[in-house]
Amino acid sequence: MRATCVLVWAVLVPFATAGARERVVDQKGRQFSAAKLEVEVGDVVRFVNSDDFFHNVFSHSPAKRFDLGWYPRGQSRSVKLDHPGVVEVECAIHPGMKLRIHVAPAKPPRN
């Protein structure tokens, strides 16, 4: 039984992270550089602040809850999206900033 569990873990875990990508979303002019984004489970979204003021990116979505805190121009914060679903992203400082991320299940790597 133990050998089977180890084998299953060794086979399934790479599927969750093998194709992970980083996607970059800029924040400029009090808006995100995209209104919608398509990613896969395991992908990381990096939010870059290109405005002259602070942003605070967050989500209360069941697929991913996070709060990246306040950060100034020139800095970025990242979040790994580890569950499929829709993630509604906003800025706590600028309520008009909205981004919808669709997180699809990760595809198995190609041989």
Give pLDDT tens digits for 73-111.
Answer: 999 999 999 999 999 999 999 999 999 999 999 887 776
Domain assignment of residue 91, given as a range: 20-104
- State the total domains in the chain: 1
Residue 77 lies in a domain: yes
- What predicted TM-score, i.e. pTM, was given to this entire model? 0.80
CATH number of the structural domain spanning residue 27: 2.60.40.420
Residue 46 lies in a domain: yes
Asked if 47 and 58 touch (Cβ cutoff 8 Å), the reply is no
The pLDDT of 26-54, averaged and rounded, is 97
The pLDDT of 10-18, averaged and rounded, is 40
Residue 7 lies in a domain: no
Mean pLDDT of the chain: 86
